[in-house]
Amino acid sequence: MRNIAFGVCAAIGLATTALTASAQYDDPSKADRRFYLSPMATYSLYDGDRQFDDGLGYQLSIGKILAQGSNLEIHGSFAEPDAAGGGSGELLSYGLSVLLFQSRKEFPLYGILSVSKGNAEASGNQGKATSDQFDAGIGYLLKLGNWPLLGSGPSLRIEARYRTDKYSQGEAGTYNSLFGTSGGRTYHDGVFGIGLLLPLGADPSAQSKVEEPAEPDARIVISPPDSDGDQIPDDMDDCPNTPQGAVINARGCEHDSDKDGVSNSRDACPGTPIGSAVGSDGCQLDSDSDGVIDDRDQCPNSPAGAAVMADGCALRNDCRIPSPGQRIDASGCATGAVVLKGVSFETASADLTSTAKVVLDGVANAIGAADGIRIEVAGHTDSVGDEAYNLSLSQLRANAVKTYLQRQGVDSKVLIAKGYGETRPLASNETQEGRMNNRRVELLVLGE
């Protein structure tokens, strides 16, 4: 009975192959030509002479769609059936298959022709028997819809094969000794399989889709008003009066790269720091026109035309913004000495750094513009080290500042240099920040 079923299976497969060979294929330009993987579970009905129990196995195929009517596959299969006399066998095969379709698109039934090399081994025994295998059968692909990344190709694959497993005279003897069979050279098995066909790569049919032109709409469409012509309706436009040709964002407003409230097309200073106060031109404000922007100006209302230092303050008739805890006068301006921020020295010496010289150049200009005043250059240190040494070092540094200012044209009669050492700290010497604030040079205006 089993051999009759195998024969019917083979006849159907061969008939399908014949129909396929004479069929008119669909348009080849629309064919899916991708490679694919096809894992399957199999169930084998073994020839009774093999002395095997029917059972499960596995098959993996790597295929390529050659045309609308054919596929070529490389496959490998494995099964481990129980032997009737005890123990088990290991059956391995690998080879080539051709799948032939009559009409892949309308009715994906296909015929199968396959040639393989088989290996049979018995558990616990040495040696193996090789054979030549020939398959004929039929299969069917059931589409599983569109999958992410794979498109419309994934399918459920169902197959039935009639297999002829033929051994040479010598290999048949080996096979008989391994499994205790009656000495046959040819066996006829039925193999049924179910699995998936998974294409690799993008779906070409998705790339070639051409949308059908829409039917003309006979309805009258009234477009909402768009006052500035920027393609954003006024009821959705946060900036309905942008100039023609301006680059806008999704809200209909011009771009403002530095977030200063001035659009790029009107911003003369497009790279101002975030949070800076700017004018209508997008540049940082300098309210008193002294060359120092308001964000860094300690005296934002300096007298017109007055020469100022790097902090934006003139040496007299100016109002310095007080620091926390600093004394102020009746006008709310800071009183006392001016700390020359940025005037620093080489370590443990009275040699001015290049940064200090830049600051002092501005100080020299300010002193030169303030006629009839006298200024004390006061040097201060922190409390680290010997008190006498600190006093001497502060005097040397005050002298260095005085000398540099004189070289820049300041009259020596205007300047007095005095060192105070560690006696007048601005902050606690117990912290690094406090000690840094205490190491300073100050200018004290003594009067006219």
Residue 292 confidence (pLDDT): 84
Instruction: Find the mean pLDDT for residues 353-382.
Output: 86
The answer to whether residues 270 and 293 touch, using CB atoms and an 8 Å cutoff, is no
Q: Which of 162, 183, 203 is the last residue of a domain?
A: 203
Residue 71 confidence (pLDDT): 92
Which of 190-194, 290-294, 349-353 is predicted most confidently?
190-194
Instruction: Find the mean pLDDT for residues 74-82.
Output: 93
Arithmetic mean of pLDDT over the chain: 81
Q: Which of 168, 203, 238 is the last residue of a domain?
A: 203
Residue 439 in any domain: the answer is yes
Asked if the model's pLDDT at residue 11 lies above 50, the reply is no
Residue 331 in any domain: the answer is no
Residue 257 in any domain: the answer is no
Q: Which of 203, 235, 265 is the last residue of a domain?
A: 203
Determine the Cα–Cα distance for residues 375 and 402; give it in Å rounded to an integer. Answer: 10
- Give residue 82's identity as a one-letter amino acid code: D
Q: pLDDT band at 1, cuts 50/70/90?
A: very low
Q: What is the CATH number of the domain that holds 90?
A: 2.40.160.20
Determine the Cα–Cα distance for residues 379 and 403; give it in Å rounded to an integer. Answer: 13
The answer to whether residues 333 and 322 touch, using CB atoms and an 8 Å cutoff, is yes
Q: What is the domain range of residue 78?
A: 2-203
Residues 136-162: tens digit of each pLDDT: 999 999 988 888 877 788 999 999 999
Q: Given the structure tokens 């009821």, which residue do they identify?
A: 235
Q: What is the CATH number of the domain that holds 386?
A: 3.30.1330.60
Residues 304-334: tens digit of each pLDDT: 777 788 778 877 777 877 665 566 565 667 7
Residues 418-433: tens digit of each pLDDT: 999 999 998 899 999 9
| Token output for 413 | 């009669």
Residue 222 in any domain: the answer is no
Least trusted range by pLDDT, from 12-21, 206-215, 277-286, 386-395: 12-21
Instruction: Find the mean pLDDT for residues 97-126.
Output: 88
Determine the Cα–Cα distance for residues 256 and 282; give it in Å rounded to an integer. Answer: 10
Residue 52 in any domain: the answer is yes
Residue 307 confidence (pLDDT): 76
Residue 78 β-bridge partners: 58, 92
Asked if the model's pLDDT at residue 81 lies above 80, the reply is yes
Nearest to 135 by CA among 283, 6, 325: 6
Percent of the chain, pLDDT > 70?
A: 85
Residue 191 confidence (pLDDT): 95
Residue 21 confidence (pLDDT): 42
Describe the crossing of helices 354-369 and 387-407 by its angle, rounded to 10 degrees: 60
To the nearest 10°, report the CA torsion of 440, 364, 373, 339.
-20
- Looking at the 3D structure of the chain, how many domains does it have? 2
- Both 198 and 342 in a single domain? no
Residue 211 confidence (pLDDT): 58
Residue 349 in any domain: the answer is yes
- Give residue 359's identity as a one-letter amino acid code: V
Residue 318 in any domain: the answer is no
Asked if the model's pLDDT at residue 391 lies above 70, the reply is yes
Residue 328 in any domain: the answer is no
Determine the Cα–Cα distance for residues 49 and 90; give it in Å rounded to an integer. Answer: 17
Residue 217 confidence (pLDDT): 61
